[in-house]
Chain A
């Protein structure tokens, strides 16, 4: 039977213009796909979307859908206007965890495409804002079949709901000279320790891990993850003075002064009279700017590791929060180093699971109970690197000062003794 195609005059206007059109793509599935199920499903999807454009309203409602053995990983969508658009009445998204760093072979992408058109709508996004592969549009029954099929060849669902969410990491050491850690290993060590917490939502709210190989933070980890891991180094940055001279020669002294020397946030740089660079590594905060401008001349040092920040999140409920430094520096070389980081993540999630309110992110809990109490709860000692500056308000009871000061000196002595 010929398909009775919905008229989509508003959506049709999104086929104009030079940028690739998602509407043209959905129409291709409607008009050219060999499976009548996909033709009918995408036809009704276009119909409902046109209806949204006309009325400026969304018509999807959530619900409860998961696969056998899991409690999450699927975003259930049931249409409120399913009578008019019955073939896309159930249109769930499966969130599937990508390989760390988002690397794919075309052979694997083709295999995923084959499975997806067998069971779903044929629409997919690499990737959603949390970092999942979004397989958009399957009915309730098909979610199980599609999952069973791809799970057999190595793919697992990500998180949805109050749980540990799918993690993200940058391309990092695979292709970037700025990389200061093994992002892929950190990413997988962290999130794969929590598969149970990914698949069975039982936490106060979502919890995200993101790993960036340097302070450029291409994964937006500080701004949008509860547990941000950023690569850094603690010895001196490497300077190839011949390359510095070559930059000065190519760009001119004024350019280097205006774009490198004076842009250093801690004034740690100076251009010598012989066009070599002087770096005060004690003042350098590893912001990455000068390395970005002169990637041939400047490189991270050899004593690499990571900084860990906790508590970043978006607006709901108390407003946007950046993560806060909790671990200024730690090495990530040996398996033991990774195990210790994972154990710290377990401590943080356990403490938050016990003390967080319903729908309260980890950063919001820290805001409510205070950073000092949070540190006490997870067994980490206070460190001036955690703050922009010490307290401004005198309104605090401080009769434990002597003891706290003594502890500080003891810790410093322990550190000095190694």
Chain B
């Protein structure tokens, strides 16, 4: 008989109260206003008069325990032993007096971390697992992000954009990276290559058939074996069949490309949240530094920085100047592939006489 196994304690999500900076606990729900004294620093003032000065820093996100302990050491020495992580994996330290901010920034920068990422910066790129750990990735998110942040570091350190810029990456079309002002996502361009010897043993065929968004997959006998076949005229090369059926290999060294999307905005401020729109595709998936994708992102950022008004996010800027001028300014081709063919696509057509000249 197997030795007794330990029953799990199903404690779920831990109570954060025990890990929260004491000044934040004391003033919970009692904050009055905030200021942005410099990039990477926020000053929150409570009705009690208490203050929290937050210093935000970017890291490599995939942390080794040495780096994690270094971050802890800085927190122990200079920030009361408490930290907070943002949605975009930045670390934040909280102190209660302005005088403690400069030493904290110094220590973080000395250790190689990048202070910034607040307000009108290009925030840390949110990213997915990629070749390091995902089972279906078309690229390596960590490498793309590292390469891009090397180039965009000044826009992380300085808050000189019209509004905040959120960039996301995704290693497949499921789009775990989510919506961003700019999104760099894998876009497959060829149907899956099927290893018919393996399908029957590895894949639950009805659920693979059901997974296809365009009903392009059907059961078939191939070389006397039960398998699946793809109607390549219908196939949209999305890769949805690949996770439930690894013998339907979608990733291709040459034909899995990168595409760039813009204008995703999660906030309700000024307008309802928006989804990102395709602007560029066919970009080579080119490790280890993906220079072609970074070059396009930089062109978009430059045009946005020069052209947008204060508080306009990328989607609002384009809505004002119009898509023709956007394509002109970022020097990207407009093609038939920009015309949506999916459900609801008609709502994206211009049914008016509104034309900018």
The reply to whether A215 and B268 contact each other, CB–CB distance below 8 Å, is yes
Can you name the residue of chain A whose Cβ is closest to the Cβ of B276? A320
The reply to whether B6 and A61 contact each other, CB–CB distance below 8 Å, is no
Task: With both chains docked as a complex, state the minimum distance between the C-beta of A283 and any C-beta of chain B, in angstroms.
Answer: 15
The reply to whether A151 and B16 contact each other, CB–CB distance below 8 Å, is no
| Interface: B110 (CB within 8 A) | no
Contacts A129-B128, A315-B175, A359-B210; A187 near B13 (Cβ below 8 A): yes
| Interface: A191 (CB within 8 A) | yes
The reply to whether A113 and B82 contact each other, CB–CB distance below 8 Å, is no
| Interface: A143 (CB within 8 A) | no
Residues of A within 8 A of B140 (CB): 49, 52-53
Name B29's contact: one of A25, A152, A182 (CB within 8 Å). Answer: A182
The reply to whether B60 and A188 contact each other, CB–CB distance below 8 Å, is no
Name A320's contact: one of B14, B18, B136, B275 (CB within 8 Å). Answer: B275
Main secondary structure of the interface of B (DSSP, over half): loop
The reply to whether B240 and A316 contact each other, CB–CB distance below 8 Å, is yes
Cα(A77)–Cα(B289), bound, Å: 26
Can you name the residue of chain B whose Cβ is closest to the Cβ of A260? B311
CB within 8 Å of A: which of B86-116? 86-87, 89, 91, 94, 112-114
Residues of A within 8 A of B89 (CB): 125-127
The reply to whether A28 and B12 contact each other, CB–CB distance below 8 Å, is no
The reply to whether B9 and A122 contact each other, CB–CB distance below 8 Å, is no
Contacts A106-B82, A191-B13, A288-B268; A113 near B142 (Cβ below 8 A): no
Residues of A within 8 A of B8 (CB): 67-70, 147, 151, 156-157, 199
The reply to whether A18 and B114 contact each other, CB–CB distance below 8 Å, is yes
| Interface: B184 (CB within 8 A) | no
Residues of B within 8 A of A75 (CB): 133
The reply to whether A20 and B60 contact each other, CB–CB distance below 8 Å, is yes
| Interface: A405 (CB within 8 A) | no
Contacts A19-B149, A217-B268, A359-B207; A156 near B11 (Cβ below 8 A): yes
| Interface: A365 (CB within 8 A) | no
Residues of A within 8 A of B213 (CB): 316-318
Task: With both chains docked as a complex, state the minimum distance between the C-beta of A218 and any C-beta of chain B, in angstroms.
Answer: 6
Chain B CB within 10 A, most for which of A103, A292, A315, A319: A103
Interface string of B328-345 (1 = CB under 8 A from A): 000000000000001110
Contacts A56-B256, A156-B8, A222-B266; A358 near B150 (Cβ below 8 A): no
The reply to whether B87 and A29 contact each other, CB–CB distance below 8 Å, is no
| Interface: B351 (CB within 8 A) | no
The reply to whether A219 and B6 contact each other, CB–CB distance below 8 Å, is no
Name B146's contact: one of A19, A68, A167 (CB within 8 Å). Answer: A19
| Interface: A362 (CB within 8 A) | no
Residues of A within 8 A of B14 (CB): 97-100, 154-156
Contacts A126-B63, A175-B31, A322-B273; A61 near B135 (Cβ below 8 A): yes
Residues of A within 8 A of B134 (CB): 58, 60
Contacts A22-B62, A215-B269; A110 near B69 (Cβ below 8 A): yes
Task: With both chains docked as a complex, state the minimum distance between the C-beta of B295 and any C-beta of chain A, in angstroms.
Answer: 15
Residues of A within 8 A of B266 (CB): 217-218, 220, 222-223
| Interface: A342 (CB within 8 A) | no
The reply to whether A26 and B69 contact each other, CB–CB distance below 8 Å, is no
Binds A, one of B51-59, B219-227, B299-307: B51-59
| Interface: A341 (CB within 8 A) | no
Cα(A52)–Cα(B287), bound, Å: 9
Interface string of B33-74 (1 = CB under 8 A from A): 111000000001000000010100011111111111101110
Task: With both chains docked as a complex, state the minimum distance between the C-beta of B336 and any C-beta of chain A, in angstroms.
Answer: 19
| Interface: A171 (CB within 8 A) | yes
Name A20's contact: one of B68, B114, B176, B270 (CB within 8 Å). Answer: B114
Task: With both chains docked as a complex, state the minimum distance between the C-beta of A220 and any C-beta of chain B, in angstroms.
Answer: 4
CB within 8 Å of B: which of A250-302? 258-259, 263-265, 285-289, 292-293, 295-296, 299
A/B interface sample: 29 pairs, CB < 8 A: A13-B288, A18-B153, A20-B112, A23-B146, A25-B63, A56-B285, A57-B253, A58-B131, A59-B131, A69-B8, A70-B8, A102-B86, A106-B75, A109-B83, A122-B65, A125-B89, A126-B89, A129-B126, A136-B62, A151-B11, A173-B31, A174-B28, A188-B12, A191-B12, A295-B34, A314-B178, A315-B238, A316-B213, A358-B207
Interchain residue pairs A-B with the least CB separation, the first 10: A17-B150, A99-B16, A25-B64, A215-B268, A52-B131, A192-B12, A22-B62, A56-B253, A19-B149, A106-B72
Identify the A interface with B (CB < 8 A). Answer: 10-11, 13-14, 16-26, 28-29, 32-33, 45, 49, 52-53, 55-62, 67-70, 75, 77, 91, 93, 97-110, 113, 116-117, 122-129, 136-137, 147-148, 151-152, 154-157, 166-168, 170-171, 173-177, 179, 182, 184, 187-188, 191-192, 195-196, 198-199, 215-220, 222-224, 230, 258-259, 263-265, 285-289, 292-293, 295-296, 299, 314-320, 322, 357-359
Identify the B interface with A (CB < 8 A). Answer: 5-21, 24-25, 28-29, 31-35, 44, 52, 54, 58-69, 71-73, 75-76, 81-87, 89, 91, 94, 112-114, 126, 128-140, 142-143, 146-147, 149-150, 153, 173-179, 207, 210-211, 213, 238, 240, 243, 246, 251, 253, 256, 264, 266-271, 273, 275, 285, 287-289, 309-311, 342-344
